[in-house]
Amino acid sequence: MNVGPGMTTLQLMEEMGKSGVLGAGRLYRATELLAELISDEETTVFLSIAGPMVPGGLRKIIRDLVAGGHVDVIISSGANLTHDLLESFGGSHYREHNETDEQLCQMGMGRIGDIYTKSEDFEVFEKKINTILTEIAGKENQLNIRQFLTEIGNHIQDPESIIHTATEKNVPIFAPGIIDCMLGLQLWMFTQENQLTLDAAGDMSELSDIVYGSKKVATIILGGGLPKHYALASNILTGGVDAAIQVTLDRSEAGSLSGAPLEEAKSWAKAKCGSKLVTVIGDATIIFPMMVAGALDLINKNGSKSD
């Protein structure tokens, strides 16, 4: 690899592509595949997000991918949606604290690695989400999780919000484990005195319609967990995804799905035989911005080439 002054991210990644081996090679192949998937109008692109992607600084990149029409379906952990709303409601993510976890607790701060949250931001979150829940429950008593998230997207006006932008762009958000986050906790407390039921199985019909209605499906997997499995498993009825990219630091040996090689998905018909699969081992807060920057520039470059 050659590193020169003023190099663009794409130029650096093309150096990685020329080297072609180890992490650098995998990252370039993932970037090429991402460019191909985004450019291909026949491919429905899923994005699954688990782990602290929104608190970790990827909110705007994900929001912009949705706004740009590059992502068609989001499958998220509850926590990333909670943190998206937290910021829309005026809260923030903080850094550079040296206190112990016991001290943080007494200060009312929650820690995610080296990211910090404030309980007062969650108090604002609580009030604002309750207003929205009251409005939603005024119209509907039973919703699928996807419908519920669209309703929330309709009730917030923050153009930087992933949920709001997804609603604007008709990009459905699925969150099968939504109950397991602050948003879910507020929902449950709300339902103690109000009528609002989320149907856990209800989203599957809509999701399977999307899968059946797509010529090709690809999924980009940030972190593992439930969103990874749900994104892959929802494609089982049509024989699996046509392509997938995963970014993870998890490992495979203990058999957990989060660290499982994408190849394994072929055995379950969650990825088609012959599908294009690339895994990059690394921290998504480093790898995903590079991959997106590289892929978007690669599309521009290829586009202007073909003109």
As annotated, the active-site residues are: 270
CA torsion angle 235 236 238 242 (round to 10): 60
Decide if residue 15 touches a second copy (CB under 8 A): yes
**Burial level of 241, CB count in 10 A (0-12/13-18/19+)?**
buried
Decide if residue 126 touches a second copy (CB under 8 A): no
Q: State both tokens at 124.
A: 């604002």
Interatomic CA distance for residues 1 and 261, integer angstroms: 27
Decide if residue 24 touches a second copy (CB under 8 A): yes
Q: State both tokens at 296.
A: 């978007």
- Which residue in the set 49, 171, 244, 287 belongs to the binding site for a second copy (CB under 8 A)? 287
Q: Which stretch binds a second copy (CB under 8 A): 8-16, 37-45, 131-139, 209-217?
A: 8-16
Kindly state the smallest distance separating residue 223's Cβ from a second copy, in Å: 6
Q: Which is nearer to a second copy, 159 or 188 (CB)?
A: 188
Q: Which is nearer to a second copy, 150 or 285 (CB)?
A: 285
Within 195-234, the residues that bind a second copy by CB under 8 A are 197-201, 203-205, 223-226, 229-230, 233
* CA distances to 190, 236, 283 from 204, in Å: 25, 12, 31
- Using alpha carbons, select from 166, 171, 149, 176 the residue that is nearest to residue 232: 176
Within 229-268, the residues that bind a second copy by CB under 8 A are 229-230, 233, 236, 249-260, 263-268
Kindly state the smallest distance separating residue 153's Cβ from a second copy, in Å: 19
Q: Which is nearer to a second copy, 8 or 131 (CB)?
A: 8
- Using alpha carbons, select from 181, 152, 179 the residue that is nearest to residue 167: 152
In three-state secondary structure terms, 293 is: helix
- Which residue in the set 41, 95, 98, 170 belongs to the binding site for a second copy (CB under 8 A)? 95
- Which residue in the set 55, 91, 153, 172 belongs to the binding site for a second copy (CB under 8 A)? 55
Within 59-78, the residues that bind a second copy by CB under 8 A are 60-61, 64
Q: Which is nearer to a second copy, 16 or 152 (CB)?
A: 16
- Using alpha carbons, select from 72, 78, 84 the residue that is nearest to residue 169: 72
- Which residue in the set 273, 305, 306, 307 belongs to the binding site for a second copy (CB under 8 A)? 273
Interatomic CA distance for residues 276 and 285, integer angstroms: 23
Q: Which is nearer to a second copy, 96 or 307 (CB)?
A: 96
Q: Can you tell me which residue has the tokens 């829940």?
A: 133
